Structure 1
Amino acid sequence: MYRLIYIILYALVVIISGCYTVSNITTTDDPIILLERKYAVRLDASLKSSHAQEILTILDSTISIDYKIPTSIWKMSRDDIKDDIKLMHLNDVVFVTLNKKMFSTDTKEQNKIQKRLYFAIVDFLTNKGTDRLAIEQILKARYGIVVDIHSYISLTQNSTKETSEDYSDFDNKDLMIFISILEEFPTVWRRIPELRYIIQRIDDEVRAPGLAWTSEGYIELSASLFKRNFDNDVRRLLAHEKAHFLWEFYFTEQTKEDWINLSGWYEDLPSETGWKNTSKRSEFVSDYAYEKNPNEDMAETFGYYLVFPDVLRSVSLEKYEFIEKQIIEKYTTRLNPELLN
């Protein structure tokens, strides 16, 4: 029965496409028309102009205008849907059903609902994480990240001086994990020009599981990291490495000094790391954060803030609140002029 309905709808799409086009000259601010004109997205009567605007805003910030996506017809579900979206492909048309709960008017849940809608749209664009070109397009357009490296020799010439034999491509599943954590960063830090590449190192014995080469613009992750099947560990480590770029390029000296004082760090040049602290181990999220230096402590803590916030709160409420108020809220306001008005 449902398939027959989809076939009838498909026939209507073909007929409409053949006899009706939206003028490229006429300007409009109607999001329903813009969705069809820019992305070949058609909405049925269950989705209104306000819904169209939400979808349009996400698409505009997620893919480039010249990236072609398949013609699609969208509707809202009557019931709850697993994973918030259902896709059905019929010839060259994709029929999209969205979970009605993603358009709730509950203002308290607005941020969570918007993220659910975003990830549902990512599933549509990537065909549930199977379309490699779409995944790479999203990483580049929304987060400024390139994973298709043309020359590892050039990329690593000032760091490790290695070749393509030392690196491998990420699986699609790995890249979808990247999208899931990069989206958790505040909007002003989702895309930063200093971070341009993420690469996968084959040899796990050479260096740490993750390294942030801040002066060279890339993050290096080891291949073994993705064999553990602990997605949240990957998310936490990527958040950790990106946090090094924030420390290097965005945090003020005052912010760093306040963090150093909060964690009880002091310089100790004869020691292996050049730093020691006066705090208890129980006040740090990991041995690594406790044993290294303020930069690593911040990166570890930031990773836990985004991925394991309950753990961070239980370890140190002061550190959780520092990141919440002195970093997330403070820098989001300072770096986004719209929030100052």
Structure 2
Amino acid sequence: MVGIRSQPRDAYASSVPSTSRDARADTAGEPRIEAARKFRKFVDHDFSTVVDTKGGFLAEEDGGVGSAGRGNMGGDGGDGGRPAHMTLAEWERLQLKKSLQRRKEGPFEPGLSVLEGGERKKCRECGSWEIDWVWEEVFGTEVCARCKEKFPEKYSLLTKTEVKDDYLLTDPELKDPELLPHLSKPNPHKSHWHDMMLFLRYQVEEYALGPSKWGSAEALDAEFAKREADKKKRKEEKFKSKLTELKRKTRAEHYRRAAREGGAGGTFGDKVGGGRHEHEWGATVEDAGRTVRACVECGMEVEEVEL
């Protein structure tokens, strides 16, 4: 019986490529794998600390821990500017408190305070104490949420464009807070656009239909009709002007084409069809504010300007 000769262990070890990495080996002392050269030049941002201030390069600073999550005044920079000594629950409680204080809700609602009955402000429609304190501060109007929905003809909000188009008010009038107070809100279409200016309907109507502006709804309608008529007139004049220019260009192109077909190959006054055409101008005619004189034979028109 012939025995089988066993191969030494070195024969198997030599067959392993030198570039193969042994995961069982301790690689702590080996050099780290570096990134390619084209990936080395980049800026590493920590997006957990980035705050959208809605102001481009301008950041709102209040000297403290930030304003409702804006800014990064001190602290570790995480959680929208949360200070290092404050836990996440405490930070959320502080932000909720600031939000309620800004909107005048919850414990900061003046209607639920300990004021005397005569000092409390009531709704101008139903007498309720649950009024909208933001409207009271901005518009100076005491009205509750129920009455705002019940009387939309008085308490609905109008945009700046609607006020300009419907009541024919100007930009200086709308930008005067003493004349017409407005409520600013972020634009729902684009966050980087200007804030919306919302006006209270009954305040706009009191000013627009009052003696300081148009005086009455009939006068406003008459002014609106007058502006629409002027706009229509300007549009018609512009159309007639372009139509006259188009006729002039078409007529000139017609004569050039006729000259080429006649073999003359030139401009006005050349021989057309074997002869030379002499214009015989007729009397002047007023046409849409213009003085026009036409040729009796070919119908060509020229415009005369009197100096």
Task: Give the TM-score normalised by the residue count of structure 2.
Answer: 0.19
Structure in which a larger fraction of residues adopt helix: 1
Q: Say which structure, 1 or 2, has more relative contact order (CA 8 Å, 6+ apart).
A: 1
